[in-house]
Amino acid sequence: MVEPKYKRVVLKLSGEALAGQTGFGINPPTIKEIVKEIKEVHDLGVQIAIVVGGGNIWRGVTGEEVGMERAQADYMGMLATVMNALALQDALENIGVPTRVQTSIEMRQIAEPYIRRKAIRNLEKERVVIFAGGTGNPYFSTDTAAALRAAEIEADAILMAKNNVDGVYSADPRIDTNAIKFNELTHLDVIQKGLKVMDTTASSLSMDNDIPLVVFNLNENGNIRRVVLGENIGTTVRGK
Ligand code: UDP
């Protein structure tokens, strides 16, 4: 059997990844496709933690734009990620992948609270751990949650699955035809060049903790597996 390059990963799925064509809400057939890909990687013996976003349901900034208090709107966003986490859990368990959801804000009736040691133990027991609720703090993003959890559980890499974008470009390739794709970068390059990969908080946390990030296209079958096996697709952003 081929040896995976990464043994423990944090897979960042944006809320939009779960929304399908409409870009809004939860689309079960789309989730079904994604979890098949996750199962393939799980079958390789790779430990997988998922950090899921909530932008398909609600974003704090949207609320702020229409006059809501930002922190309040952000809490709504964090709750949105919990709905996505439960949908993912359901779909994974339907195909026989054992899971645990851990929330950064306690909701004991529906999920475990986030406990670092327990998260690691779950991974060791071959359960996919889904981290919901972001960091549990307003003004942060689920990208930052991915960087934070990756550092905490000592993940080998963050896999950032993008919707219909196959890596990091010098400009938005859908707008600028001269945009070039980077194969490799450092987190510092991302920050200095102002590239749109993660927000700066997430990038600096990943830089300080030397966590590699692989940005790749989720919409191509088998891509999560390819990345885990070390195939050079997408863009790798190195820690140092
Ligand atoms: N959020 C937050 N703190 C966190 C993570 C998320 O306040 O640590 C809120 C924030 O309002 C954000 C929303 O949850 O807009 C959804 O998360 P995000 O935008 O990161 O989701 P994605 O873009 O990945 O779907």
CA dist 179 and 169 (Å) reads 6
- Per-residue pLDDT, averaged over 146-174, amounts to 95
**Mutation pick for ligand 1 pocket among 141, 152, 205 (CB with most ligand atoms within 8 Å):** 141
Confidence of residue 2 (pLDDT cuts 50, 70, 90): confident
Is the CB–ligand 1 distance for residue 74 below 6 Å?
yes
User: What's the 68 CA to ligand 1 centre distance in angstroms?
Assistant: 16
pLDDT digits (tens, 9 = 90+) for 117-137: 999 999 999 999 999 999 999
Cβ of residue 223 lying under 6 Å from some atom of ligand 1: no
Q: Are 96 and 125 in contact (CB under 8 A)?
A: no
Lookup result for tokens 């909701």: 107
Assign 21 a pLDDT band (cuts: 50, 70, 90). Answer: confident
- For residue 203, give the nearest of 233, 234, 172, 158 by alpha carbon: 158
Tell me the sheet residues that pair with 213. Answer: 158, 237
**SS3 category, 86:** helix
Q: Are 119 and 31 within 8 A, CB to CB?
A: no
Query: 């990687």: which residue's tokens?
Result: 41
pLDDT at 223: 97
What single DSSP character describes residue 23? S
Looking up tokens 């707008």 gives 175
pLDDT tens profile 138-150: 999 999 999 999 9
The 10s digit of each residue's pLDDT in 216-229 is 999 999 999 999 99
210-219 pLDDT tens trace:
999 999 999 9
Report whether residue 4 contacts ligand 1, using a CB cutoff of 6 Å: no
Q: What residues contact 36, with CB distance under 8 A and at least 6 apart?
A: 95
User: Cα 82 from chain centroid?
Assistant: 14
Averaged pLDDT score across all residues of the chain: 96
Shortest-distance atom of ligand 1 to CA 52: 24
As separate numbers, helices (DSSP H) first and strands (DSSP E) second, the chain gives 8, 11
104 labeled part of a ligand binding site: no
Other CB atoms within 10 Å distance of the CB of residue 98: 13
Q: Which domains are delineated in the chain? A: 6-235 (3.40.1160.10)
Residue 78 confidence class, pLDDT cut points 50, 70, 90: very high
